[in-house]
Amino acid sequence: MGPPRHFRLPFLVLVVVLPLMLEWQQLAAWGGFLFLWSAYMVGPSSLYRWLRVWLPLSILYGLILLLFSGTGDWPRILLLMGRLLIALLGMQILTWSVPPSDVVRAFEWALPRLGVSLAISLRLVPRLERSAKWRLETLEERGFIDEESGLKALRTRASIWPGWLADSLDHAHDLGDAVQARGILAPRRWRHSVKRRIVQLALGEDVREDGVNPYHFSDSVQLGLDLEIRLPDGRCIGRHKELLRGGQIVLLRGPSGCGKSSLLRVIAGVSPWQHPVSVYGKVHISGHPSLGEVNLAEGPFTEAISCWIPQDPDRHGLAESVHREFKIARRLSGPWTQNEMLECLREWKLFDKLRSQPENLSEGEQQRLLLAAHLDSAQPIWLLDEADVHLDEAGFIQLGKAVVKHRARGGLVIVVAHRHARWERIADYEIDIGDSLPPQDYPSVWVERGEEIGTPPQGDLFSHDLKPVRAGDLILIQGANGSGKTTLLREWSGTSGLPWLPTSPDRRLLGMTIEEELNLQHPILFEQHLAGEEVQIPDAERIQLQQSALRLDLGLSHLSMATPVHDLSTGERRRLSLLPVLMRKPAIMLLDEIDHGLDDLTLADLIEELNIRRKSGCAIVITSHSPDLMAWTKVSGGRVWNIEQGQLTEVSL
């Protein structure tokens, strides 16, 4: 409806300059035309909203001119006001007609790196808003808002902004690493090799932009590691000495926080200091199809060194739609067609999400999108950092197929996973980092069920004919990605006032440092923190003791109070976010993908803690895709619910 794309810049000049030259009659005609155009384009209500802001402001400016310029020539002032308003409307028409993605595209063409920044920025603005909402929701869930006065509530709300900004900074680091690892800042090669591309086109060759055949690697791809990763306090979090070859699937195992993700970051060629770590030694890749020999210590590199799929898919997507995410990813990995993209989306069961915004997808769907768009078959080394955690069985099979196919092409796949059983079947080689963990059995306990304490919500989104939840119940909810498991927990929490723990720990962490976070986990602790050590608030000591005991049980007691929350590993953050839920002792605990980011030992400890809660009459509701947790639920006399198309059904065991 707006001016055509190629006419936008001349239109901008026209709408600003033309009103300045027109007199009353022509100005009225031009203004009338613009008003009709904009009403047709965005509707009268949008036009009215625009007028509501700018008309009073224009009148205000006119009055200021009349009062202060001393001219008294009010028809002239009126004309100036009219010109101002019409010029503003013209510029607004342009703003309405140019979607932000077009602005990003224009930047990508002329200023590619700033274009990337702009794309990320536009993606971050709504996320910042959502992140603030999660934090307020968390405050409310922890009982901060209800009982307090307006001023107190305002002060509490204001206290969470450093944590909010710290989380956003960390998110920016993650996004920046994703940009670096995918080679998005690298100059586009076709611009510099037009001749070669013409020759390739004439010969009918199907090759990458940098001249590499993406469908097969020689078996000489090798990755040599001889390095040590250390924290600033001198603690070693990884000593690696390996020679890995193409045509292998390597499974990396180790407890949470042992440095698995840091190692993958080093190999991916992104900044290894997600936390301020030092790296000693060498990492060498030989036989890379486009870069040849690569010494990673010489980085950072603008080109992609390997294909790195990091944890937490919602923190690594760049574009504002599924379609754009694909376009950005595939632009880098060589020639591709629209049909290939659609085929890929079909394979990953994302075809109907083509126009969706990634942030509106479930965690599992976001993970599928990340894998579908960014598993680059032209890169010889794939680094999968817990890439399977959010995937259902169909998703995992699809990932398995892709991985096996890549191995057959001669690629090297390094997998980090906490649930090893599925990977051990296809892995060629296993590496234990840190102290190797003995195989863990999840402790099971048989609990007598008590009285009815609740039922899941019913309404537009969900329907069911389930028996009520009883005290001591253990319920596992299963279902495909995008079937609504997380939505169910959120709705249930909202309608019954129960605390729930989302998969991503960052949605439930409020503080910038561990000390701030612990103070913000309970209103009384926060009050005690504000009052200082001189004043002793009743119950504060008891709650502090309870918190300390739980920290010990969850393996968090060794962490320093001054440590920034985002320097912790995903598993540690996950446990920290679980602490206030356990402290509240609710009748029903709603836990989304409880095993995410936890190693077997920590998960077994957590399950032990949940068993104790069940014995004391608390019902536990969890979601998971893990077959191990399904088996544990059956052994513990739990119930399994299946969710499909909004219908919840009980699965007979």
Which 516-555 residues touch another protein, going by CB under 8 A? none
Q: Which is nearer to another protein, 15 or 477 (CB)?
A: 15
- Output 277 or 550, the one with its CB closest to another protein: 277
**Environment class of residue 277 by beta-carbon count within 10 Å: exposed (0-12), middle (13-18) or buried (19+)?**
buried
If you count them, how many residues does the chain have?
Answer: 653
Q: Binding to another protein by residue 607, rule CB under 8 A? A: no
Q: Please select the residue that binds another protein; options are 28, 36, 111, 552, rule is CB under 8 A.
A: 111
Among 26, 69, 220, 495, binds another protein (CB under 8 A): 69
The answer, yes or no, to whether the previous bond of 300 is cis (omega within 30 of 0) is yes
- 121 counts as binding another protein under rule CB under 8 A: yes
Q: Which of 1, 9, 16, 631 binds another protein (CB under 8 A)?
A: 16
Q: Residues 395-409, buried b or exposed e (16+ Cβ, 10 A)?
A: bbebbbebbeebbee
Stretch that binds another protein, among 167-175, 473-481, 502-510, 618-626 (CB under 8 A): 167-175
Beta bridge partners of 469: 454
Structure tokens at 624: 């998971």
From 161-169, 404-412, 530-538, 584-592, span contacting another protein (CB under 8 A): 161-169
Judged by CB under 8 A, the residue of 6, 72, 129, 195 near another protein is 129
Q: Which of 245, 275, 490, 613 binds another protein (CB under 8 A)?
A: 275
CB of 613 to another protein, least distance (A): 35
Quick one: which H or E segment has residue 191?
A: helix 189-192
Check residue 270 for interaction with another protein (CB under 8 A): yes
Could you say which residues in the range 169-208 bind another protein, by CB under 8 A? 169, 171-181, 184-185
Nearest to 420 by CA among 557, 255, 616: 255
Interacting residues with another protein between 282 and 301 (CB under 8 A): 282, 297, 299-300
Q: How far apart are CA 401 and CA 511, in angstroms?
A: 41
Of 117 and 546, which has the nearer Cβ to another protein?
A: 117
Asked if 599 and 417 touch (Cβ cutoff 8 Å), the reply is: no
Which residue, 186, 14, 178, 205, is CA-closest to 91?
14
Contacts of 372 (CB under 8 A, 6+ apart): 326, 344, 345, 347, 348, 350
Give the C-alpha separation, 204 to 199, whole Å. Answer: 8
Question: Using CA atoms, how far apart are residues 81 and 76, in angstroms rounded to an integer?
Answer: 9
Stretch that binds another protein, among 41-49, 155-163, 551-559, 639-647 (CB under 8 A): 155-163
Q: Which residues make Cβ contacts (< 8 Å) with residue 440, sequence separation at least 6?
A: 600, 601, 603, 604
Minimum distance from residue 31 beta carbon to another protein (Å): 16
Q: How far is the CB of 73 from another protein (least distance, A)?
A: 10
**Residue 630 is encoded by which pair of tokens?**
């399904």
Q: Is 27 in the site for another protein (CB under 8 A)?
A: no
Distance of closest approach, residue 157 Cβ to another protein, in angstroms: 13
CA 304 to CA 320: how far, in whole Å?
22
Does residue 41 interact with another protein by CB under 8 A? no
Task: State the number of binding residues for another protein (CB under 8 A).
Answer: 83
Contact 640, 633 (CB under 8 A): yes
Q: How far is the CB of 540 from another protein (least distance, A)?
A: 24
Residues 412-471 that bind another protein (CB under 8 A): none
Q: Which of 27, 42, 120, 332 binds another protein (CB under 8 A)?
A: 120
Q: Which stretch binds another protein (CB under 8 A): 280-288, 481-489, 570-578, 613-621?
A: 280-288
123 burial via Cβ count (<10 Å: 0-12, 13-18, 19+): buried
Q: Is 617 a residue that touches another protein (CB under 8 A)?
A: no
Q: Binder to another protein among 204, 276, 438, 532 (CB under 8 A)?
A: 276
Give residues 319-378 in contact with another protein (rule: CB under 8 A). none
Interface segment toward another protein; rule CB under 8 A; list 105-113, 362-370, 419-427, 574-582:
105-113
d(CA 38, CA 247): 60
Q: Which of residues 230-269 bind another protein (CB under 8 A)?
A: 230, 232, 236, 239
Under the criterion CB under 8 A, does residue 512 sit at the interface with another protein?
A: yes
- Decide: 384 and 416 in contact? Cβ < 8 Å: yes
